[in-house]
Amino acid sequence: MLEVDGVMTTYGGIVAVRNVSLRVPRGRIVALIGGNGAGKTTVLNTICGVCTPREGHIRLNGESLTGVPTHRIARHGVLLVPEGRQILGPLSVRENLELGRLARGRRTGAFATDIAGVFKMFPRLEERAAQIAGSLSAVGSGPAPCPVASARCWPWGAR
């Protein structure tokens, strides 16, 4: 379970979010809803370690993530799908997915088995596995960069 208790995050001396608390049981999906500037991205960045909370605690299965470096948090399966076209455009779709596996600390293992699971969830990406990711259209009927970013997180044990 992911637990966020009484988190306050600041940028310089400005409070961005105050007294944020939430619980996400394993295997659940939760939406964070709010207007522009409400602090949704700040909360997610704080959970993932991009920002350090000034107050409060973040725990995953009882283990503190507060102050843990981002790359170590990712290896626990707490991953953020970036907004927009934040993929490595010059690389192929398959190479972007491989980087997701590496970011999770899985440097060895059955990539072929893992990637088969990804392509089952995102079948259009399999058709485009060799295509340069940056050439995927952001609109229309073809796969967009967002599924590549999402797929980068899903197969490697995101919780």
**How many whole angstroms separate alpha carbon 111 and alpha carbon 140?**
30
pLDDT tens digits for 55-102? 999 999 999 999 899 888 888 878 777 666 577 778 888 888 887 777
Domains and CATH numbers, the chain: 2-75 (3.40.50.300), 93-156 (no CATH)
**How many whole angstroms separate alpha carbon 69 and alpha carbon 48?**
9
Q: How many CA atoms lie within 13 A of 27 on its CB side?
A: 0
pLDDT tens digits for 9-66? 999 989 999 999 999 998 787 888 999 999 999 999 999 999 999 999 999 999 999 9
Mean pLDDT of 119-135: 86
| pLDDT score at 144 | 54
pTM as predicted: 0.69
3-state secondary structure of 101: helix
Counted residue by residue, the chain has a size of 159
